[in-house]
Structure 1
Amino acid sequence: MMEITPINDKLKTLINNPEIADVKFLVGRNKIEMYGHKTILAISSIMWKNMFFTGNWYEVSQKHQDISQVVISDMEPKAFLAILRFSYLRDIELDPEITPEILYAADKFDMQELKQICLKSIVKTFTTRTALQTLEKAIKFKQQELIGTAIHYIERKSKTIFSRDKLFDKISEQTIQFILQSDNLFISEQRLFQLLVSRGKYLCVKRKIKPTPKNIKKLLGNLPKFIRLELLGLSGLKEIYNSQMYDLEMVFKRCLEIAEKYENQIGSNSEKSRKMLVAREKLSVDDINVLVLVSETREQYKRDVIKSIKHQGISQVTSMNVARRIPTLEEIKDYDSIFVFSCDPFKDPVQMGNVLADYVEMNRGLVICSIFALENGEFSRNLKGRIVNDSFLPIMKGRVISHQESQIGDVEISEHPIMKEVTSFNGGKFSYRIDATNVQTGSTVIARYEDGNVLIAENRKEDDFGTVVVLNLWPISDEISTNGNYWLTSTDGAMIIANTVRYASTV
């Protein structure tokens, strides 16, 4: 019996093959020759079809030695070759270095499927080291969706990203402007000014001129204007004064304006006043006192969870090991909220459930982020006692789903405080969660996974009781599991955890 060659193997031989091609592309600044076939390309994209088979074709091509010729000057050859490969095979091999360029090309040729593949790949590979470079490329290729995603990631990770010196030295002025105009960076305005001065000194050295205040100011162009003087504290204003980069009369006038504005608005409860007074200078100030009840032998897991809780500035976080001993109500009653995380057995599951119910009845907020505590079956790691029997939990116990990657789907209450600044969540390759699509009577679904299972749900049993929020997720991030098994830090898992703990402490 004759073996039949798969069609994709045959198509693969046609990619960039000049032998029977009917169109030649001159790609990039150096006009590298690349070849294609009009009919195959037209099938893969309406843009190709319009280009090759409408009256507009002659606007973009010319005949040259019996082959149509198209100049594509705004694309690198590697990115264009990836476009050809996807057009012929519906297959793509993404190199993180050129994925933003492939995204630009996919957008240009209206290849929506490839565009979504590129966006997902970029989000998955975001790191604090590459975020600024990704933003730079997104701005270069005018990819608004990617610009927004990159800025959001930089805002969430700003404390880590902006802790590095010389951060602004080698990126473009336009990219820095995007960053400086953000209202959600969790760093001080003084730190941004210091990074600008570092950039100015670097540019002076590069141009072999002395790094005087005058030269630094000249090479920074308009960037110093984006520093918000009203957000500088006393030490920041001193640094501005000593830099000799600002007109001192202008700085003094601005300080008077700030003082007058604050005097007029201090004591006001308006949102505008609140934002002005706290803005970026409220970096890690918070009087919420959080208790983490943890049953987990791996110390790095506990540290990872606490890091997420502290993501939005909560600084007072205490942990107790409930595998060894269950605390009394007297020991926990003064905490503003409690976060329960466990993988190992509780010392006493019934006593654990009883003390948590007592705590909620004192009008305190409880967050349960422990899928194994909510698992069906008779295990010592399951929560028992009144917290289960008296219907405090918003979802029923169920089987654990794993090894089925899932991300956030429908957000049923988008204005809920827990969803503030949350735009994405991916549980990673494992995506541990309880199989629960419904909530108990009186409970509320806040968000679901894309498969319909509950991601976040809340139960306020009675008006004078606290709230119980279940985060139906495994709270360990991919910073612990670098192979992407756990929730992806390129998404908003830390924001969800921090927002939930903060919310539970205020209800």
Structure 2
Amino acid sequence: MASAGSTVLEGDPAAFSAAVRSLINNPQFSDVRFVVGRERQEVFAHRCILACRCQAFLGLLSPPQPDAQEPQPSQAPFVLGHVQPEVFLAVLEFLYTNSVTLNSRIALEVLTSAVEYGLDELRKLCVEFIEGALSVELVCEALQAAVTYGQAALQEHCLAFVEDHTREVVRTRGFLELSAPALVSVLRSDRLAIDEPELVRAVREWAHVSSAVLERPVAELAALPVQELRLALLSPRELAALETHNQRDQLIPVECIAEAWKRHALRKGSRAPSRLCRRRRGTQPREHHGYLE
């Protein structure tokens, strides 16, 4: 801190940044090592930089006792088997330079590391990059990360993308890998650009894939998502076909189908939530829609 009457003069920031950047993964003068990922790649770092920039590393690198001597560079490395070397190096780049080099392949994993290490500024940079790089193939993975780590702004951005590209998104592998809570967040939208029979088929495929992966019954895994399907929008012919399919896997509770049939019989709404009668943006018009709302 400058004393009274003093002036702080700054040198060339580019030269300083380049000099500090040259220390990233540089064994010269390093005093801590990491073994990273399945590749068991050795990564070198400087504990003073890591500790002053990140509370998580401060805790990891602090000596177990206040009077313990500083560990020597030859100490056993820290093993980080759960993170890719490229991702960990991106985190180090941010810690050393306050900037980060991202691409679509690693951005979500860097976001995960930023949340785990409590690096809020890095988290914001990752979210900004991901929002600008969303694609049909990436959006479900990004949505899942947003739901998992409570990133509300990113979740909203992903949902808006899904709403504009629904038919393409539901055909992706990422859609089939969504968790039930993430899928529910999609199905609650009124702005999905897809007709309800297509959406029912997509949810059925999601449920069967999830059942095979998790080795749990289809109906159990789909219990929450199917509550968001708007069966009342289906025509009698489509509803009858749905019943036939449902006899094979019991995807949809019988009472939900019965409620949809009741609307056709009474030609009016009933006790089910009114949102289940609202047409989505992509809903094709059917004769009975006029009395649902």
TM-fit CA distance, 1:96: 1.9
**Contact 2:35/2:77 (<8 A) preserved:** yes
DSSP 3-state at the match of 1:35: strand
**Contact 2:218/2:251 (<8 A) preserved:** no
Alignment of 1:454-493 (within 5 A): none
Q: Distance in 2 between matches of 1:282 and 1:249?
A: 22
Equivalence for 1:184: 189
**Contact 2:24/2:96 (<8 A) preserved:** yes
Equivalence for 2:160: 156
Alignment of 1:91-110 (within 5 A): 91-110=99-118
Alignment of 1:35-434 (within 5 A): 35-53=44-62, 55=64, 66-67=74-75, 69-138=77-146, 142-145=148-151, 149-150=154-155, 152-158=156-162, 160-164=164-168, 167-169=171-173, 171-175=175-179, 178-181=182-185, 182-185=187-190, 186=192, 187-197=194-204, 222-225=220-223, 226-228=225-227, 231-232=231-232, 233=234, 234-243=236-245, 244-247=247-250, 251=254, 253-258=255-260, 274-278=274-278, 280=280, 283=283
- Structure with greater strand share of residues: 1
Q: Distance in 2 between matches of 1:202 and 1:255?
A: 23
TM-fit CA distance, 1:43: 2.2
Q: Which amino acid aligns with 2:202?
A: L
Larger Rg, first or second structure (1 or 2)? 1
Q: 5+ residue gaps in structure 2?
A: 1-11, 286-293
Identity level (%): 19
- For 1:146-174, what per-residue CA distance to the aligned partner results, in whole angstroms no more than 9, with x for missing partners? 6x623x34543445422238615465544
With over 3 angstroms needed to count, the CA separation of the structure-2 counterparts of 1:282 and 1:83, relative to structure 1, is: closer
Q: Which amino acid aligns with 1:278?
A: R
**Is the counterpart of residue 7 in structure 1 residue 16 in structure 2?**
yes
With over 3 angstroms needed to count, the CA separation of the structure-2 counterparts of 1:21 and 1:15, relative to structure 1, is: same
With over 3 angstroms needed to count, the CA separation of the structure-2 counterparts of 1:170 and 1:116, relative to structure 1, is: closer
Q: Which amino acid aligns with 1:277?
A: C
Equivalence for 1:18: 27
Q: Distance in 1 between matches of 2:195 and 2:122?
A: 39
TM-fit CA distance, 1:18: 1.8
Q: Which amino acid aligns with 2:277?
A: L
**Contact 1:168/1:195 (<8 A) preserved:** no
Q: Which amino acid aligns with 2:91?
A: I
With over 3 angstroms needed to count, the CA separation of the structure-2 counterparts of 1:86 and 1:155, relative to structure 1, is: closer
With over 3 angstroms needed to count, the CA separation of the structure-2 counterparts of 1:283 and 1:145, relative to structure 1, is: same
Q: Which amino acid aligns with 1:164?
A: E
TM-fit CA distance, 1:84: 0.9
* TM-score with structure 2 setting the length: 0.69
Q: Distance in 2 between matches of 1:248 and 1:21?
A: 57
TM-fit CA distance, 1:240: 1.5
Q: 5+ residue gaps in structure 1?
A: 58-62, 208-216, 286-507
- For 1:301-360, what per-residue CA distance to the aligned partner results, in whole angstroms no more than 9, with x for missing partners? xxxxxxxxxxxxxxxxxxxxxxxxxxxxxxxxxxxxxxxxxxxxxxxxxxxxxxxxxxxx
**Contact 1:266/1:273 (<8 A) preserved:** no
With over 3 angstroms needed to count, the CA separation of the structure-2 counterparts of 1:164 and 1:262, relative to structure 1, is: same
Q: Distance in 1 between matches of 2:89 and 2:281?
A: 48
With over 3 angstroms needed to count, the CA separation of the structure-2 counterparts of 1:241 and 1:168, relative to structure 1, is: farther
**Contact 2:180/2:222 (<8 A) preserved:** no
- The size of the alignment, in residue pairs, is 261
Q: Distance in 1 between matches of 2:62 and 2:253?
A: 61
**Contact 2:24/2:44 (<8 A) preserved:** yes
**Contact 1:16/1:35 (<8 A) preserved:** yes
- For 1:273-304, what per-residue CA distance to the aligned partner results, in whole angstroms no more than 9, with x for missing partners? 5434326488477xxxxxxxxxxxxxxxxxxx
Q: Distance in 1 between matches of 2:24 and 2:252?
A: 65
TM-fit CA distance, 1:12: 2.2
- Structure with greater helix share of residues: 2
**Contact 1:83/1:102 (<8 A) preserved:** yes
Q: Distance in 2 between matches of 1:183 and 1:261?
A: 20
TM-fit CA distance, 1:86: 1.3
TM-fit CA distance, 1:30: 3.3
Q: Distance in 2 between matches of 1:109 and 1:149?
A: 19
- For 1:86-120, what per-residue CA distance to the aligned partner results, in whole angstroms no more than 9, with x for missing partners? 11122211112211111111222222211111111
Q: Distance in 1 between matches of 2:253 and 2:209?
A: 27
